[in-house]
Structure 1
Amino acid sequence: MGKSMSFVDTLEQHTLSLAFSCRQKLFSAAPGLDVIVTTDPVHVGYLTGYRSILQDAGPYAQAAIATRDRVALITGASDAAAALEELEDPSCIWRYGIFYVGATARMAGYADMPAPGDNFFDTIVSALRSFEIRGGRVGLDTRDEKLARSIWQQFPHVAFQNGAPSFKRARATKLPGELALLRHASHITDKALEFIVPMIRAGVTELDISSEINGAIVQGGGIPRFVVVTSGERSSRVDAYARAKRLENGDLVRMDIGCTVQGYCSDMARTLTVGDPSDQQAERYAALLAGEQAQIAALRPGALASDIYKIAIDTVRHGALPDYQRSHCGHGIGLHSHEFPPIAPNSNVLLEPGMVFCVETPYYELGWGGMMVEDTAIITDDGHELLTHSTRELCQDRVK
């Protein structure tokens, strides 16, 4: 009997079909566009299905050009082999610069791709010319104003417009394939946090816990993106790296964790105490948890994002934190860990099926500590689907 296929293997087989569906959705959200051009690495992945590891090394020039039925990836020559593994069709990979990768006679390779360009800009122009866009309507999604002006000058008979709003509209709700990736990213993060609960004891270091979380995420098929493990007074330090600090009895341990699976993000948080919590810790956490749970209960189509925020704030203030303040109590999640729309006081957005949210009620007090609880949910036709289920108990000794 052959080896069974993992969930991640199955998802990888559907990368191209998901990218095709994303392009269809984008152009449905932007009927006034014939072509879209983007240099945003997240949107390059959205349109092509390919996400370069080189983006993790710092700013890296890439672009994608797409219609409903065609896509071109513009990338560095060294990246073209990895792109070909994902995209399979060499004719859609436009490379710039010089890099040498050979191929046997039976393998598609660099020789089957369009001729390389000297630089990023010239290659975008060459690829865009192949779309025969004269007289067309082209959305341009880039923050590089100099690049945008240079492209306009090369195509004086093209009606360019800002392409960013089209991505915002299309990405506000998720396709079934995107939801599958978000479920898996949330699942492995949830399991990683569940796995380390027995480690929360005196003498263990923040780095020990962080290392185990990272390993569990990788084993589950994810890429760790932020792993915040802070303890004691350090738990008040927002988004800080773990240190070699040893946990002590009475410490708060605040963990805010996220990973990606094929570009799609998870983001969740838990707080535990080392030993029994103090009365103040327990009372404050109870207020925060009540606020977060009230938000979850209110997640449904037609709810107003600003109302969800108000529910969270009012509920927490009825507990042990009467002066509780937050600029937001949650956010959309997808290809970014923080996406539109926010759960914020002026967020006049009605929730829709297919939107995905992280809801949270953090509290930070320098000199005392910090605590939070954060969960992820999909808005469904008649309510919500909660994706994160690991314990929300403050004291790990009570976790069964």
Structure 2
Amino acid sequence: MGHADTETLEQHTANLAFSCREKLFSTAPELDLIITTDPVHVGYLTGYRSILQDAGPYAQAAIATRDRVALITGASDAAAALEELEDPFCIWRYGTFYVGATAGVASYADMPAPGANYADTIVSALSSFDLRGARVGLDTRDERLAHTIWRQFPQAAFQNGAPSLKRARATKLPGELVLLRHASCITDKALESIVPMIRAGVTELDIAREITSTIVQGGGIPRFVVVTSGERSSRVDAYARNKRLEDGDLLRMDIGCTVNGYCSDMARTLTVGGPSDQQAERYAALLAGEQAQIAALRPGALASDIFKIAIGAVRKGALPDYQRNHCGHGIGLHSHEFPPIAPDSNVLLEPGMVFCVETPYYELGWGGMMVEDTAIITDDGHELLTHSARELCQDRVK
């Protein structure tokens, strides 16, 4: 989404939640209602994502039918939820939090009365739905809560709701693709922004700071910013340090952000002062593997075959013993989603699926390299979302 669209981003997400609920119940005709305590699924069904989820475990839930939704959240979170959802009657609070409200926001008082605790509030919210003979999907890892719900509502027929949500989320709606494109575009620009600053003496933290700043300026929320150099580039998912770049270093960057909950994930590798022959040959093999699997992305392709194509292409180059347990994964509300591109992934690719494809290589004592891009499966092939240069040594790197 461009700058002109950012004012409507929140409204876009709220409308998208309605479409996601419609899709869920269309793909899961065996369900009349679903209950989830998974924070990602709460956001999927309601359109609201609490900043408190970033601070640590935070109890929320959502109850949804095709045409109605209820959000269960802490009392301190209710005002932020109301700003997003604009419907006080769908917000069920638990606990105590003191906040005043002027006449201009009187709708705050229209919310259902706060519940004493999380479980009781879920029961109260469920009681407002007609569960007589209802087929209810329950998506929770909280066994105590599950037993409470089963006891309180014997008139309903319960089943595991997680598979239905997993199935619905495997392909993305057009509105979801808008947000995924936006997140990928921001990350692409962040990685492009640091190329002119790559030189001996710059620190990993300097680079991470620039990437983070560019993501925030673009409207994203940084989620992981892996910047590792030299031998440290073999450290998978390590934080940047105050280590200065040196001539001959590999610089590996693996970056992700979110836009209204939807993720990006991409990676690039550069060298400082130009690559050695070994660096160039190994990277050429990895890039060939990544490009081969991108070329193979299309509806009807088998995920495990895409994996084999990537591994085979890398092994034809300077890494004949290359091994991986996966060469990519779905992406959406999680940075790693179903289905994986793995040797045992017997999933046929479908239009609307979104994948990150990657061919990393890590060798302790030597270094690490990776290249990772994001693509949508279309009706007749794929649409690549990430476009920044993939060369190991770019003209602007001195």
Shorter-chain TM range is over 0.9
Q: Which residue is 1:167 aligned to?
A: 165
Of 236, 252, 255, the residue aligned with 1:254 is 252
**1:1-400 correspondence to structure 2 within 5 Å:** 6-397=4-395
How far did residue 399 of structure 1 move? 6.8
Quick one: which amino acid aligns to residue 22 of structure 1? C
Q: Is contact 1:200–1:396 with CA below 8 Å preserved after alignment?
A: no
Matches of 1:85 and 1:111, distance apart in 2: 14
Verify the 8 A CA contact 2:273 2:397 in the aligned structure 1.
Answer: no
Q: CA RMSD in A?
A: 1.2
Judge conservation of contact 2:89–2:112 (CA < 8 Å) in 1. Answer: yes
Which SS does the other structure have where 2:138 is aligned? strand
1:398 deviates by 5.9
8 A contact 1:265–1:337 mirrored in 2? yes
Give the Cα separation in 2 of the matches to 1:14 and 1:315: 41
Are the counterparts in 2 of residues 173 and 356 from structure 1 also a CA contact under 8 Å?
yes
- 1:165-215 C-alpha deviation (Å, 9 max, x unpaired): 011110000000000000000000000000101111100000000000000
Instruction: Give 3-state SS (helix, strand or coil) of 2:136's partner.
Output: strand
Partner Cα separation in structure 1 for residue 210 and residue 319 of structure 2: 33
Distance 1:281 1:56 in 2: 38
Partner Cα separation in structure 2 for residue 380 and residue 399 of structure 1? 35
CA distance in 1, matches of 2:86, 2:35: 21
Distance 2:38 2:160 in 1: 13
SS in 2 for 1:315: helix
Q: Secondary structure at the match of 1:397?
A: coil
Residue by residue, what CA displacement relative to the aligned partner does 1:347-386 show, whole Å, maximum 9, x if unpaired? 0111000000000000000000000000000000000000
TM-score, normalised on structure 2?
0.98
Q: Give the letter aligned to residue 196 of structure 2.
A: P
- Contact between 1:275 and 1:397, CA under 8 Å: does it hold in 2? no
**1:12-60: per-residue Cα shift (whole Å, max 9, x none)?**
2222210000000000111011110000000000000000000000000
CA contact (8 A) 1:269 1:373 kept: yes
- The alpha carbon displacement at 1:108 in A equals 3.3
Distance (Å, rounded) in 2 between the aligned partners of 1:144 and 1:134: 24
1:11 deviates by 2.2
1:7 Cα offset (Å): 2.5
1:8: Cα distance to partner? 2.4
Deviation at 1:145, TM superposition (A): 1.2
Give the distance between the partners of 2:231 and 2:299, measured in 1 at CA.
Answer: 39
Unaligned 5+ residue runs, structure 1?
none
Q: C-alpha distance in 2, partners of 1:374/1:274?
A: 20
- What's the CA shift for 1:151? 1.0
Quote the offset at 1:154 in angstroms.
0.9
Contact 1:232 1:252 in 2 (8 A): yes
- In 2, the alpha carbon distance for the partners of 1:312 and 1:62 equals 40
Task: Specify the SS of the correspondent of 1:341.
Answer: strand
Corresponding residue SS for 2:97: coil
| Separation of aligned partners in 2, 1:256 and 1:17 | 31
**CA distance in 2: counterparts of 1:399 and 1:63, whole angstroms:** 49
Q: Distance in 2 between matches of 1:63 and 1:13?
A: 21
Please list the CA deviations of residues 129-159 of structure 1 after superposition, one character each: whole Å capped at 9, or x if unmatched: 0012122111000011111111111111211
Classify 1:177/1:93 alpha carbon distance in 2 versus 1 (closer, same or farther; 3 Å): same
Distance (whole Å) between structure 2 residues aligned to residue 359 and residue 7 of structure 1: 28
Amino acid at match of 2:4: S
**Within 2, Cα distance between the matches of 1:363 and 1:5?**
37
Match of 2:316, as an amino acid? H
One-letter amino acid matched to 1:241: Y
How many Å separate the matches in 1 of 2:66 and 2:233?
47
Counterparts of 2:209 and 2:190, CA distance in 1: 11
User: Any unmatched runs of 5+ in structure 2?
Assistant: none
When normalised by structure 1's length, the TM-score is 0.98
For this pair of structures, how many residues does the alignment match?
A: 397
1:114 and 1:254 mapped to 2: Cα distance?
Answer: 51
Deviates more, 1:100-109 or 1:183-192: 100-109
**In the alignment, residue 348 of structure 1 is paired with which amino acid?**
N
Shift of 1:5: 6.1
